[in-house]
Amino acid sequence: MTTTTTDTTTRETTGADLDAVVARATEAAGRLPALEPRVRAAALDAAAAALDGAADELIALAGEETGLGVPRLTGELRRTRVQLRLFAREVERGAFLDVRIDEADADFALGVPRDDLRRMLSPVGPVLVFAAGNFPFAFSVAGGDTAAALAAGCPVVVKAHPGHPRLSRRVTELVAAALEQAGLPAGTLQLVEGQQAGVDALRHPGIRAASFTGSLRGGRALADIAAGRPDPIPFYGELGSVNPVVALPGAVAAQADSLLEGYVTSVSGSAGQLCTKPGFLLVPTGTNLDTVATAAAGVAEQRLLSPAISDGYEARRDAVLATPDVTVLHEGGVRRDDDGQGWATPTLVACSLDTLRAHADTLLDEAFGPLSVVVAYEPGTDLAAVVLDLFPGNLTGTLLGADTADTGDTGDTDGTDAAADLARLVDALTRTSGRVLFRGWPTGVAVTPAMQHGGPWPATTTDATSVGTAAVGRFLRGVAYQGAPQSLLPAPLRDDNPWGVPQSRGTAGESQRW
């Protein structure tokens, strides 16, 4: 697609155009898996270099369309480039292919000779990526889902987010050209636009997997479409998370002011439009919360992503403020400009644990914007039960003060085993969260091999990760070859191993030691 960054026309990819896009992606899918790792890795490096070379242009364009500031966008673009290069190194290593070879064994332990058997992970085919609005670089055209799919050897069709269409077109131009110049086939990265085009693409038989980052309602609807196809396909949706933070009494006693200041900073960062924003902070009853109001008062107003986001945030904020027995710590507000854009300052409220339970229907939903709830719990509260009951599925769960809990600071003051209570609380957070933090705040997501960015429903539709190198596994499927001639095996499965990837090998006779 040839576009210009000054074109603000609303577009809708037509049915005929969509068929052509998927046809090109299907053709590319037949060629990508056979390309040597060095070629595919070099292409990802070239994509990162293309973004780097156009950084000033892209950051300015993203700022115009999203209202996110230059520091935030600069950091996000850097993250996107690093992400591409990280996956390039993963492709070079080849361990993600999980190559397993079992040699023919005439004396196999089951009593029947075992034929030569070789298994590896192979790309699923064309992947549809629904771009996110709150990360115009890192979760959009050249973001983590795209990087992971390309690393797996899958072509990508991106459904552009309507919040940054010009940026989406420009990034597609730059990255698609870089990939092709580096040796990848035409059609490896393409863009479609429009809500119906996204739905139609998800239903298209040529699309073999899809990923999404967005709202619970939208993601659930798309997940149902993917599951309801005549040939259901994997759908990896990140939908919503309230990311509870539990502060034990020892943490509050030792560092109340810095803890609460960090909380406000995390809630208000990027105008609270981050999927890992802490929606709830649990503190012991009697905690002095004056610092929350002081810190929030110092946060300047920030533009929300779009008028529609502003509408949703205002409705959510009004519902929380109207809830009985909720105390306003800092009311904040939303100013609307002549274009309908919202400019928000943080709203922080407090309530008891009993109030949260009594009004869970209005308080427990995610607020996409700078709003959060401080919840006071009484001594002796079973915090593990609270987590399991009220916060069943999240991207993150944070426990502050675990290092002071050996003195009974889990909230238990009647002499029972504090260590056992702490272990139960950690287990509860582990069962309900994809990432468990013991220090810091969840809005920092490192792009690194060990990262898990996903969690139980409703955080995600499938408990995989969309950040870190493990994300590549979403777009692979296992294939085994039995008794195949060497000449017909994929390169990673051959005995001469021309790609030099790790091979796990089971030798003849080994089964007798099982």
Catalytic residue annotation: 238, 275
Residue 21 burial by Cβ neighbours in a 10 Å radius (0-12, 13-18, 19+): buried
Cα(228)–Cα(464) distance, rounded to whole angstroms?
A: 21
DSSP 102-117: E--BTT-TTSSPBPPE
Radius of gyration of the chain (CA): 25
Query: Are the CB atoms for 370 and 220 separated by under 8 Å?
Result: no
Cα(263)–Cα(145) distance, rounded to whole angstroms?
A: 29
Query: Are the CB atoms for 339 and 306 separated by under 8 Å?
Result: no
Cα(465)–Cα(469) distance, rounded to whole angstroms?
A: 9
Give me the sign of the Cα torsion angle 272, 391, 289, 311: positive
Name residue, tokens 């991207």.
395
Query: Are the CB atoms for 21 and 13 separated by under 8 Å?
Result: yes
Q: Where are the alpha helices (DSSP H) in 436-475?
A: none
Query: Are the CB atoms for 184 and 43 separated by under 8 Å?
Result: yes
Chain-centroid distance of CA 240 in Å reads: 10
Cα(265)–Cα(259) distance, rounded to whole angstroms?
A: 10
**At residue 105, what is the residue type?**
D
**At residue 101, what is the residue type?**
I
Contacts for 318 with CB less than 8 Å, ≥ 6 apart: none
Give the total residue count for the chain.
514
Cα(30)–Cα(356) distance, rounded to whole angstroms?
A: 54
Query: Are the CB atoms for 128 and 149 separated by under 8 Å?
Result: no
Cα(145)–Cα(462) distance, rounded to whole angstroms?
A: 14
Angle at 344 between CA 340 and CA 345, to 5 degrees: 160
Query: Are the CB atoms for 213 and 275 separated by under 8 Å?
Result: yes
Query: Are the CB atoms for 218 and 132 separated by under 8 Å?
Result: no
DSSP 1-38: ----TT--------HHHHHHHHHHHHHHHTTGGGS-HH
